[in-house]
Copies of this chain bind each other. A is one copy, B any other.
Amino acid sequence: MQKIIENNKDFKIVTGGITYPKGIKASGIRCGIRVNKKDLALIYSEKLAEAAAMYTTNKFKAAPLIVTENNLAKSKGKLQAILINSGIANACTGKKGLEDAWETINYVAKGLAIDHRYIAIASTGKIGEPLPLKKIKDGLKEAISGLSSTGGTEAAEAILTTDTLKKEIALTFWIGEKEVKIGGMAKGSGMINPNMATMLAFITSDISISQELLKEALQQVVEKTFNMISVDGDTSTNDMVIVMANGLAGNPGIIERDVNYSKFLKALYYVGEYLAKCIVRDGEGASKMIEVEVKNAPSFNEAKRVAKAVINSPLVKTAIFGGDPNWGRILAAVGYSGVEINPEKVDLYLKEKIVEGGQPLKFSRQELHDYLSSSQEIKITIDLKMGKEKATAWGCDLTYDYVKINTKYS
């Protein structure tokens, strides 16, 4: 039975993850790619689901992404199962990597007795090493026999690499008299082993919605959530987000941008933002989460560029780690973001307004230092006073542990 975590006017957030929606089963097992850690997760929908996915923009796109994209094109956006392995990324593996990815798809198709086009796969781990097909084939049998409607948490554990916490969420809302559920899980970047740096997220729902609208909703949400986070500005070869909606909630199918679509979009956004923030909070070596809100920009894209410049600045990130109210570094990042800002208009808030029109106000550095040192979530607000659009980005501080984690000789 799910415990209620929060009950707001729009939806109820409960304990649980991807197996919370009707008809979704999952499992997470150890097949032996990693040492003493689960490394294979399977998600299965009893009913063929509408699905949409978004992929890394890295030109070195890993084999599992290419194969999944290909399958979703052939099935016109329908999925029934997703297999995810951690430990090996199957990236920069050439022809052999693609063959291995297709072979993995075939194992799942045979094991679940479903068409191969309805299967997605994802990988995270070392770059340049081949998938251990035998281990995956054998492990898959256990994963299939272990599929269960309470297996979400095990799956959420199996996709982690060096993340310190599992990341999952479940929520529910009503469309008329039908209860609709959404579940999600994600992994962030941890790099004790080399080249492990992949953001993966999987979202399930029992909502009935057209594939076109599901895709549109995912794109909108990803742009404002997963695409707005950064641990170190490095974009992985394996990033992927997939959403499946199997329709088992029984709501009247959503086929236009009506009030029910808005409800779903809001819920999906909540799930996206929640998982995205989990990832940065658990970023490599992170001790604090940083939220940067850019207000009154001429466009969303310009707001986003400014927010991302600040969230990616090593100087801002180290200052936050040190509790240093070093506002000049924030303004400098705003200034080099590439956006045509007007320096004489910019206001900056860090706990309180500390810069107005590009110049510092009087404030207590000691108080601000104490605030920065004692808070785990730091909010920076930048008011460009140039328009009406805004964007929020999330990141984390840059710590000794980040260097430590990423310095280790493989």
Q: Are B128 and A334 in contact (CB under 8 A)?
A: no
Q: Which positions 321-336 of chain A face chain B at CB distance < 8 Å?
A: 321-329, 331-336
Which residue of the partner chain, among B59, B94, B314, contacts A406 with CB atoms under 8 Å? Answer: B314
A367 to B403, CA, bound (A): 23
Q: Which positions 224-239 of chain A face chain B at CB distance < 8 Å?
A: 232-237
Which residue of the partner chain, among B321, B326, B341, contacts A403 with CB atoms under 8 Å? Answer: B321
Q: Are A234 and B127 in contact (CB under 8 A)?
A: no
Which residue of the partner chain, among B91, B234, B336, B340, contacts A235 with CB atoms under 8 Å? Answer: B336
Q: Are A403 and B407 in contact (CB under 8 A)?
A: no
Interface residues contributed by chain A, number (CB under 8 Å): 68
Q: Are A336 and B234 in contact (CB under 8 A)?
A: yes
Q: Which positions 307-349 of chain A face chain B at CB distance < 8 Å?
A: 312-315, 318-319, 321-329, 331-336, 339-344
Q: Which positions 10-28 of chain A face chain B at CB distance < 8 Å?
A: none
Q: Are B409 and A332 in contact (CB under 8 A)?
A: no
Which residue of the partner chain, among B237, B315, B365, B406, contacts A410 with CB atoms under 8 Å? Answer: B365
Is A195 in the interface zone, CB < 8 Å from B? yes
A399 to B333, CA, bound (A): 21
Is A360 in the interface zone, CB < 8 Å from B? yes
Q: Which positions 30-87 of chain A face chain B at CB distance < 8 Å?
A: 57-61
Is A199 in the interface zone, CB < 8 Å from B? no
A292 to B45, CA, bound (A): 48
Q: Are A407 and B319 in contact (CB under 8 A)?
A: yes
Is A298 in the interface zone, CB < 8 Å from B? no
Is A359 in the interface zone, CB < 8 Å from B? yes
Is A353 in the interface zone, CB < 8 Å from B? no
Residues of B within 8 A of A195 (CB): 326, 328-329, 332
A127, closest chain B residue (CB): B328
Is A350 in the interface zone, CB < 8 Å from B? no
A312, closest chain B residue (CB): B233
Q: Are A332 and B194 in contact (CB under 8 A)?
A: no
Give 21 CB contacts A-B under 8 Å. A59-B334, A59-B335, A89-B328, A91-B328, A94-B357, A126-B328, A128-B359, A191-B315, A194-B328, A195-B328, A195-B329, A232-B314, A234-B313, A237-B332, A237-B335, A318-B407, A321-B407, A324-B407, A324-B410, A326-B410, A369-B409
